[in-house]
Amino acid sequence: MGKETKHSGTAHGKIILIGEHSVVHFKPAIALPLMSTEIRAEVSGNGSPADDPRFAVDCEYFTGSLADAPGNLGNLQKLVVTLFNSLCVPQGCEGFDIKIISSIPRERGMGSSAAVAIAVIRAVADYAGVVLGSQEVFDYAQISENIAHENASGLDTIATASNQAVWFERGETAEAFDCECPGTLIVADSGVKGGTREAVAAVRSMLYSRERGKAREAAQQIDRLGELAYACLQALRKGDTASLGFIMDEAHEILTGLTVSDRKLDTLVAAARKAGAIGAKLTGGGRGGCMIALVADDLRSGVPATVKSVESALKAAGAVNTWRLPLHTGPDTDAGRAATVK
């Protein structure tokens, strides 16, 4: 394959609507695709032989030989070598170069690392002339995610590959479903890098605290987040934006109690509500990252807010960027269908 031929793959960002942190403890979660953000990977052969392949990467972190990449790209190194040996060697492909273009802000809980993995897998498969099913894409992506995030749940992997809302239970089969709800989510970037690992560790510490009252309260909060996930699913299916707003507000209160919010996120949540959002909460790991605000499309609900006014309020409160996410998704493709979460 010549250098002039480029093969590409894409994936998009995601947000967690409900289930942050509780999903780690085997409670359900719902994630939504954020199609307005995207990772694109381009692969082209570089002429190096199959028995001594070379790989180069061009991305925001690093440009050069993948073998010389910094430690934070160790997950990409492992993924590329695995893909080459599994997909390219049988096809007699030469080594290749990868260019990664991203509009997903990193370390914001929007699934950037999983989206990179998905985009690279799709691009390398296209380069090798191999068609992969959704389960194969998931399994390859988890190789990368388990290095980047240790024991990755698989939620980001499935959500960044799917064009539909995803109902996710760790250890079970994730299910994509159509979401037709008369509302719009506004996603706002706080401008602060998320602290997912620290937040996960803090919640775990509370759950296993030697103080029985503290541990019991944390367990009850995790259980309640699981209950809210089921209520959220029903609200989405019924198009009940009012109930969805209440669910989001309660979830944020619980997450704040679990110490995974921060002052900036709380400020943005309060600003959105004051501007007329009918619900608002953090999304993702917390301690930085993003929040989401719900605006009803149906003005008969008595909500005076408009998308523009809430966006303006969020930016005035310090959000560095916002995206709109209508609460409806269309038909999906095979690449985004349910996968078995191991």
Answer yes or no: are the C-beta atoms of 100 and 8 closer than 8 Å: no
Domain co-membership, 307 together with 193: yes
Q: Residue 197's pLDDT is what?
A: 81
Whether 1 is covered by a domain: the verdict is no
Buried b (16+ CB within 10 A) or exposed e, 207-225: beeeeeeeeebbeebbebb
| Same domain for 321 and 279 | yes
- The DSSP output letter for 340 is B
Among 176, 201, 218, residue at a domain's last position: 176
Q: Which distant-in-sequence residues (6+ apart) come within 8 Å of 338 by Cβ?
A: 134, 158, 173, 174, 175, 176
Start-to-end CA distance of the chain, whole Å, equals 36
pLDDT in tens, 276-310: 999 999 999 899 999 999 998 754 544 445 889 99
The most confident of the ranges 63-77, 113-127, 185-199 is 113-127
Confidence tier at 4 by pLDDT (50, 70, 90):
low
171 and 185 both lie in a single domain: no
- Are residue 168 and residue 283 in the same domain, yes or no? no
Q: Is the pLDDT of residue 269 over 70?
A: yes
> Per the structure, how many domains does the chain have?
2
Alpha helices in the chain (DSSP H): 74-83, 112-128, 134-148, 155-161, 196-207, 212-238, 241-257, 263-274, 307-316
Domain that residue 207 falls in? 180-326
pLDDT at 181: 86
Helix and strand numbers (H, E) in the chain are 9, 11
Q: Quick one: 186 and 99 in the same domain?
A: no
For residues 92 and 211, state if they share a domain. Answer: no
Which CATH number fits the domain that encloses residue 170? Answer: 3.30.230.10
